[in-house]
Structure 1
Amino acid sequence: MTTAVLHPGAMGAAIGAQLVAAGERCVWVPVGRGPASRRRAEEAGLVALAGFEELTTCEVVLSVCPPAAAVEVAHQVAGTGFAGCYLDANAISPRHSEDIADVLTGGGATVVDGGIVGPPPRRAGTTRLYLSGVDEAVCRVRALFDGTAVDVVALSGPVGAASALKLAFATYNKVSSVLAAQAHALARHHGVDAELRDLAAAALPGTPLATPERLSSAGQRAWRWAPEMREIAETCRDAGLPADLLAAAETFLGHWRRYKDDPDVTVDQLLDALSRS
């Protein structure tokens, strides 16, 4: 079976590498992608296709892209006449998951909703992939990941259920990092940052507040997290819940966009960016 990975960012490439290591043939479309994507794809063992039209030769298409591009990628794939199984594993709202299903099922494809929780998978026990949708299609995708480091959990729900769980978890997990950064920036301004760290270590061990060094990872991924906050805000509004906190988190993360995928960014740089704002 041939699986296409669109597009091999850090997460997509790592998932593709897991599939390749498990004996699957994985391909990607290099059209319009930069040298970093090409390097990740090569390292993961993905085979390049000549263009999107060749996706019709694949049984499965896996979409792992920035949230803002998820619907556009689905339209690109639908435009090829793809009629296989489409796994959308992006951090998007349930409503957008349903929109993607409408776009692709009209052409004969089957859509599975996916939500990835955890870092790019490199060892077992770190990364979960939640799936929802038609049982037969979910089982097909679940079997695809047998023998990989990705822990697959099938939910008994329609397309949109996996995305809802992913965004509910991200609401706490990612906004907690935003709050920790705000707290440390405030403490540093008043010269009590060391005391805050000590207090957090005693009262809230293991949290971003107690381990601010973890904020550097949040800074590197802020360019992805900001549009994810927008998706969560939309999901909250659809559920009749307030979205103010998520809108503020999106604005907050915008202060760190310059550090996109910067492996050398420091916590001090991130806090300085907040102070300058």
Structure 2
Amino acid sequence: MHAQTRPCIAIISFGTMGAPLARILIQQGYRVLTCLEGRSEKTKARAASVGVESLSISGIVQQATLILSIVPPADAMITAQSFAEAVKQVSTSCNPLPAYVDLNATSPPQSLAIADVITAAGLRYVDGGIIGFPPSELEDGTWKKPTVLISGPKLADCLSGNEEAATELATVLKVRHISDAIGAASGFKNCFASYYKGQVAITLQAFTTAQTLGCLPFLREMLHWHVPEVAPKLEAGVLNMQHKAFRWIHEMESISDTFHSNGLWSPDLFKGVGEVYQVVDQETDLGKHGKDTVEEVISEICAGLERRKLKAE
């Protein structure tokens, strides 16, 4: 497909997930936009170095075909509102309005609320979620990609019915349409995320409790002995969550909301999981100064739990 006929993609924001997705698109000949207002000079230089164009929100509304919202869950609604407000301020009489694809870790009720804001502004809304880790470029130049799930309108619906363009973009970004219902993709994302992030929280509680009992080394030994295929993944999760806990707090709220609103379960289970990540974020410095070993991470969390206990007394 000729570059001029490919859709123009806006990615908000240019972060851990958005930046490599932008690189993939640019390598495949797509024009990629973002908004870097308020971002550091380092981030602006990094975006420019790979060919990403920085525009205002209004500029993106005027020039983009698709807007991919990839922000922390707590910012999902305000990001949508900023685009809805921008539509009122620009003249789009010569161009069709872009479609807005929300790929954030929101619950189905939250996604429906965002859909109301977006569609009221005249934009087409696509519910979505990203399954997997951020893309990583392999030695041979190919990419290991996450899966982008969407529900509601299909890609072709957002590209003026251009099936060829939709098929190509779906291949480039590994997009799968799973349902015509808004909320299905965001709900699936939460169901999937609950396994890994819930398991990491259980591991943190088990390891810190074993540490206070003086038997953490023995617990780890038994895990490696009885479940050798699982133990390394549990310990990797302990290390990998350090810089993500602040974001996972809101994700656990979304999972809790999903399981309660759509699954009819009590919301308490994943509220408790969110509390685990709240301890990591608010009672330790692991988010800023991560540790290299499981022992160090667990010791820091134990100290944080003790500090929280003293503050409560």
When the two structures are superposed, what TM-score results if normalisation uses the length of structure 2?
0.80
Paired position in structure 2 for 1:34: 40
Displacement, 1:191?
2.9
Distance 1:253 1:209 in 2: 20
Which moves more between the two structures, 182-191 or 153-162? 182-191
Displacement, 1:129?
0.9
Q: Which amino acid aligns with 2:110?
A: H
Displacement, 1:37?
3.8
Paired position in structure 2 for 1:122: 136
Structure 2 counterpart SS, 1:154: strand
Does residue 193 (structure 1) correspond to residue 224 (structure 2)? The answer is no
CA distance 1:208–1:228, shift in 2 (3 Å): farther
Does residue 267 (structure 1) correspond to residue 294 (structure 2)? The answer is yes
Q: Which amino acid aligns with 1:251?
A: E
Does residue 5 (structure 1) correspond to residue 28 (structure 2)? The answer is no
The correspondence for 1:233, drawn from 253, 256, 274, is 256
Structure 2 counterpart SS, 1:145: helix
CA distance 1:138–1:205, shift in 2 (3 Å): farther
- Within 5 Å, which residues of 2 pair with 1:43-122? 43-49=49-55, 51-55=56-60, 56-81=62-87, 83-122=97-136
**Contact 1:3/1:25 (8 A) holds in 2:** yes
Does residue 222 (structure 1) correspond to residue 245 (structure 2)? The answer is yes
Aligned pair count?
A: 275
Structure 1 counterpart SS, 2:125: strand
Displacement, 1:189?
2.5
Does residue 134 (structure 1) correspond to residue 153 (structure 2)? The answer is yes
The correspondence for 1:21, drawn from 23, 27, 35, is 27
**Contact 2:136/2:144 (8 A) holds in 1:** no
Q: CA-to-partner distance for each residue in 1:92-139, whole Å, 9 max, x for gaps?
A: 011111111111112221111111011111254551111111234378
Displacement, 1:158?
1.2
Displacement, 1:169?
0.9
**Contact 1:215/1:267 (8 A) holds in 2:** yes
Distance 1:198 1:107 in 2: 57
Structure 2 counterpart SS, 1:155: strand
Q: Which amino acid aligns with 1:128?
A: T
Q: Which amino acid aligns with 1:8?
A: F
Q: Which has the larger radius of gyration?
A: 2
Paired position in structure 2 for 1:246: 270
Distance 2:252 2:86 in 1: 31
Distance 1:134 1:146 in 2: 14
Gaps of 5+ in 2: 1-6, 138-142, 306-313
Distance 2:289 2:175 in 1: 30
Distance 1:266 1:138 in 2: 46
Q: Which amino acid aligns with 2:152?
A: G
Q: CA-to-partner distance for each residue in 1:204-235, whole Å, 9 max, x for gaps?
A: 33436764143111111111111100111122
Displacement, 1:57?
1.4
Structure 1 counterpart SS, 2:242: helix
Q: CA-to-partner distance for each residue in 1:169-206, whole Å, 9 max, x for gaps?
A: 11111010011111112222233222222221233334
- What root-mean-square deviation, in Å, do the aligned CA atoms of Structure 1 and Structure 2 show? 2.4
Distance 1:208 1:80 in 2: 49
Which moves more between the two structures, 76-85 or 159-168? 76-85
Q: Which amino acid aligns with 1:236?
A: F
CA distance 1:143–1:36, shift in 2 (3 Å): farther
Displacement, 1:261?
6.3
- Percent sequence identity is 27
Displacement, 1:265?
5.4
The correspondence for 1:174, drawn from 193, 197, 203, is 197
Distance 2:233 2:24 in 1: 33
**Contact 1:177/1:209 (8 A) holds in 2:** no
Displacement, 1:41?
2.6
CA distance 1:32–1:253, shift in 2 (3 Å): same
Distance 1:171 1:185 in 2: 21
**Contact 1:67/1:224 (8 A) holds in 2:** yes
